[in-house]
Chains A and B, each alone.
Chain A
Amino acid sequence: MSALTKNLSLLVGAIALCALPFLVEDFRVFQINLVLIYAIAILGLNILTGFGGQISLGHGAFYAVGAYTSAILITQLGMSSYLTLPIAGLVCFLLGVLMGFPALRLAGHYLALATFALAIATPQLLKYKPIEHYTGGVQGLVLEKPMPPFELTIFGNELSEDRWLYFVILIVGIFLFWIANNLLSGRVGRAIVAIRDQPTAAAALGVNLTFIKTATFGLSAAYTGIAGALSALAVAYIAPDSFPSFLSISLLVGVVVGGLGSIPGAIFGALFIQFVPNVADQISKSAPWAVYGAMLLALAYAAPNGVMGIVNKFIKRRQT
C-alpha cells in the first residue's frame, strides 16, 4: 500500500470512528463503549498471557479493583472522573507487581489456580462487612456518568453522556494500544517474549527475569484496571456481583478469540464476549450457553490462533 493510500484510509477510518456514535441510538453506543472497554482489558491480559506466557484466570480482580478505586475516589473524595483513571491504573499496577512476586515461583496450572482463587475471592472480599462504608457492601455504589463538557448535535443525535464517554474511552484506548504496541515491539517486548519461550537462555543473556516478569504483571494489571475504572464510569453502577469469576474466564476467552499475543485481536475478542452471549440467546432460548459452548469449541478447532490467526493467514496468502 502506498503512503497516500495508507494515510487516506487512516483519515477515512478516523472520520468513521468519530461519526459512529451519532449514527446509532444511545443503547448501542453503550454497548460499543463496553466493547472498547473489554478490548482494553483483554489487551491487558494478552500482555501477560499472550506475550508473557503467564496464564491468569483472575484478571477480573484487577478489573474490579480498578472499578472500585475509581468509584470510591468519586463518591468519597468527589474527585474528577477522569483523574481517577490514571490513579486506578497506578493502584492496579502496584497490585499487579505484588501478584507478580508469587507468580515468579508458580507456573502453568499452579499459576492458573492461584489467579483463579483471586477471581473467586474478589466478590467475597468486596462484600466484606468492615469495609462496607467505602465499598457500599452488597448494594454497591451508584455513580453519575460524567457530563459532556459542551453541546453538540450531529445527524439529529445529541452528544449524550454515553456518546461523550465513547470519545473518552476511544482516546484512552488508542493511547493505551499505542503504548502497548511500542513497548511490545521494542526491547522490552522482546525480553518478555524471550522469557516466555526460553527463560533459562534469557537469564543467561542478562535479562532480569524478576524485574521483567513482575513489571509485565503490573502493566497487564494496570491496563485491565483502567478498563475497570472506565466501566465504572460507563455503567455508572458497580457491585460485588458485577465481577463474578466468569468475568475472568471471559477475558481469557477474549484473548484466545482475538489471538494470543496479538494487539489488534483484542477488539475481536471484545466483540465476541460482548455479543456472542446475546446471539446464543437468540438461537436457543432454553440452552443459550450450550450454543456459546459450541461456538467456543468451533473456535478452538477452526481458529486455534484466534481471529488474527485467520487474518494473518489471508494476508500471507495474498503476499505469496
Chain B
Amino acid sequence: MNADAAVTHKRSTLPWPMQLAVPVASLITFGTHLLIAQKAPPLETRSYMLLFWEIVGVSIVLAIAQRFWPALRKWMRHIWPIFTAAILLIGVWDVITAGLHLLPLPYFPGPAVILRSLISDRALLFDSTWHSLVLLLSGYILGVIVGLISGVCIGWSSSVRYWGMPVLKVVGPIPATAWIPLAMVVAPSSTVSAVGLIALAVWFPVTMLTASGISNTRASYLDVARTLGAGPFYLIFRVAIPAAVPNIFIGLFMGLGASFLTLVVAESVGVKSGLGWYLSWAQGWAEYGKVFAALIIMAGFFSTVMTLLFKLRDRVLVWQKGIIKW
C-alpha cells in the first residue's frame, strides 16, 4: 500500500527535493559568489546576480507548472539533476578561480567575468557565430555532395574503384588543415580556401563510408530487385543507396567532427571573421574572459548542429531498429 501511494505521488508531481534543487543550487552558487566578491577587488556582478534571480524565478514557475503539465514533469525529472549539478559546478569554478586563486590569472577568470564578456561582446559574438555558420554549412554541404557522388561511384563501379581508391587512400588521410599553406596560395580569397578545406575534411570520411556501404549492399537485395525487373537506376538509387544510408550517416558524423576542427583552424589563421578568429583575437589581447565566452558559444553552436544531424538521422532511419541515442 505504501509503495502504491508513493507511485501515485510520483506521478502527480515531482518530489520536493527535486522541485527545490535548482533554486537552492542557484542560491548556494550566488551566495558563494557574494562571499568571494567581498574579499576580491570590486567586480561588476549585476548581470551575474540577474542571471541567478532569473534562474530562481523560472525554476519556481516550472516547479508549479509541472503539477499540471505531465510532459514538462517528465522532461524536468530527466534534466533537473544535471541542471542542478551544472549550477553547482559554476559555484565550484567561482571558488577555484576568483575565490582561492588556485588557477593563474588572467588565464582562468571567474564565471562573473565570463558572463560579462558574453554580454558586453554579444553583438560581435553573434556576428562571429553567423559567419562561422555560413562558412561551416557551405564547406560541409559542398563536401557532402562531392563525397556522396564519389562514394557512390567508387562503391558501385569496380573500374572507378580501381582508379579512385588509391587516390582516396593516399590523399584522404592527410589532415585538411595541413593543406592550409597551399590553399592560401591557390585560392582567390581566404573564405574560398576555408570552404575548400572544410569540404576536403568532410569529403574523405563521407566518400570512404559511402563507398563501403554501397559495395557491401547485400547481394540478395540486388538479386531480388533484378528479378522484379529493376534496371541500373533502380539498383543504385532505390537499393544500394538506401542500404548504405546507415553507413553514410557514420561518414556524415565523422565529417562533421572534422569540419568543426577545420573551421576553427581556418578561421584563426586566414579568415578575418567567425568564432575561430574571435578566439585568437581575444587571446591576442589577453582577454581570457572573451576566450571562455567564445568557447561557451562554440559548445552550444557545435552541439546544436550535431544534435540536428542526429535528429535528421533518426527521421531518415526510422526503419532501423535499435538506433543509438545522442
Q: Bound pair: A and B? A: no
Interface residues of B (CB under 8 A from A): none
Interface residues of A (CB under 8 A from B): none
